[in-house]
Structure 1
Amino acid sequence: MPLAINSTAPDFMAQSTEGTIRFHDWMGDSWCVLFSHPKDFTPVCTTELGVMARMKPEFDRRGVKLLGLSIDPVEDHARWSADIKTVTGQAPNYPLIGDANLKIAKLYDMLPADAGDSATGRTAMDNATARTLFVIGPDKKIKLTISYPMTTGRDFNEVLRAIDSVQLTARQPLATPANWEQGDDVVIVPSVSDEEARKRFPEGWRAPVPYLRLVEMPN
């Protein structure tokens, strides 16, 4: 079964560019973005890892740790980092896991169980489904997943936008409408009665239809 929203993100121990990581312990009480790549020295992934490094302060500000994964040994990651800096001006400043035995990719349902146990001889196309991004909460539950084909670079501004929504709605009984951005109106969730909503939002709300109650975003 694929990992579902609100399922527990599997724990693991792995070697990374910053040493051994036991995932849940490494996360601690932080949020985490775990994002995977099918192989080192691939063009789109090279751009992504550099952009993520440049945007790291924005994730830090939200209490989100970054953890990359690529299905190659850690030793290759070190050489790849030099290329990433050449292309983007920024080498990865967060851990990049080696998954040379494919265990983590299988654990997170990115590769089938019969994919083998070695990255040796496998091409990027063989690992094409290892292009998933997971947003994981401090409770170690998966809050969001996005999967991309190898030919489509990820929009990390959208990842930040989604994290803003997920973190806001984790704190209060709210939801965010389509194309929502910080500061826009938010939705009072249906599980909150009108009576309770009046207590929570004494300034009131607007309801174009009875089941869609829009209110100003709380501070």
Structure 2
Amino acid sequence: MQEQQHSAPTNTGLRIGDQAPNFTARSTSGDIQLSDYRGKWLILFSHPADFTPVCTTEFVALAKAAHDFEDRGCALMALSVDSLFSHFAWLRLVRDRFGVEVRFPIVEDPTLVIGRAYGMVAPNDNDSATVRTTFFIDPEGTIRAMTCYPANVGRSTPEMLRTLDALQAVDENAALAPANWQPGEAMLAPPLTDLAAIFSAEGETDWFLQELPAGKVK
């Protein structure tokens, strides 16, 4: 079988605020290109391998929550070094065993071209079995958040949704999301940058720590 060719620039130092490198590859949803997702949010995440215990629980959980991401205008896309046909066989097993169909695309990356472009694996690594990296990409193609877990710890689907909610809320409200923020809770106003306004603030911390009433948060 002819090996599928991937196209992606090499970049091992991606940071929040960078543009997500474009790529083309085969997936369980057909040929795919990252730039096709411009105009909506996208969560791109890697998993160490098909037919592994933690990855299986992650995919069952994400498939069950897929509509929650869709309701927020966000697509899911997975990536691993396994072949396309390995993905197909694994998804069939997941459906038959757990009664859950994984419909979001899983990209094959057997040559690690995409993984290296995103810094998911080091340039000289031979496999990606040590990481679970997640990229939250906004409609402009900008990386807005990143997480990385070891192979033996699964992601938290509720935390992925909370992070997405927070990113969308700070954009919509021009505000800040405090620790443990949940949708509907108060957000924080950006700190003042005018010295006169800072000196005239009523409370000693009001100029940099001011809640926005929850009723004013969209």
Picking from 16, 21, 24, the partner of 1:13 is 24
Is residue 105 from structure 1 mapped to residue 115 from structure 2 by the alignment?
yes
Residue 3 (structure 1) shift:
1.0
Picking from 35, 39, 46, the partner of 1:36 is 46
- In the other structure, the counterpart of 1:23 is 34
Q: Deviations over 1:137-183 (max 9, x none)?
A: 01100001111111111111011011111011122320011111011
SS in 1 for 2:95: helix
Q: Structure 1 residues 147, 82: closer, same or farther in 2, change over 3 A?
A: same
Partner Cα distance (1:66, 1:215) in 2: 31
Structure-1-length-normalised TM-score: 0.85
Q: Deviations over 1:44-93 (max 9, x none)?
A: 00111111111011100100011011111111000000222244321211
Residue 101 (structure 1) shift:
1.2
What are structure 1's unaligned runs of at least 5 residues?
117-125, 197-205
- In the other structure, the counterpart of 1:134 is 135
Q: Structure 1 residues 62, 191: closer, same or farther in 2, change over 3 A?
A: farther
Residue 115 (structure 1) shift:
2.6
What are structure 2's unaligned runs of at least 5 residues?
1-11
Cα contact 1:207–1:214 (8 A) shared by 2:
no
Is residue 147 from structure 1 mapped to residue 138 from structure 2 by the alignment?
no
- In the other structure, the counterpart of 2:102 is 92
Residue 22 (structure 1) shift:
1.1
Partner Cα distance (1:193, 1:24) in 2: 40
Partner Cα distance (1:107, 1:127) in 2: 13
Q: Percent identity, aligned pairs only?
A: 34
Residue 130 (structure 1) shift:
3.5
Cα contact 2:81–2:109 (8 A) shared by 1:
yes
Partner Cα distance (2:85, 2:176) in 1: 43
Partner Cα distance (1:191, 1:84) in 2: 52
User: Which amino acid counterpart does residue 213 of structure 2 have in structure 1?
Assistant: E
Cα contact 1:32–1:64 (8 A) shared by 2:
yes
SS in 2 for 1:174: coil
- Choose 186-195 or 93-102, whichever is displaced more: 186-195
User: Which amino acid counterpart does residue 45 of structure 2 have in structure 1?
Assistant: F
The count of residues paired between Structure 1 and Structure 2 equals 200
User: Which amino acid counterpart does residue 14 of structure 1 have in structure 2?
Assistant: A
CA RMSD of aligned residues (A): 2.1
Structure-2-length-normalised TM-score: 0.85
User: Which amino acid counterpart does residue 151 of structure 1 have in structure 2?
Assistant: N
- In the other structure, the counterpart of 1:82 is 92
- In the other structure, the counterpart of 2:71 is 61
Q: Structure 1 residues 20, 187: closer, same or farther in 2, change over 3 A?
A: same
- Give 1:67-216 correspondences, 5 Å limit: 67-116=77-126, 126-190=127-191, 209-210=205-206, 211-216=208-213
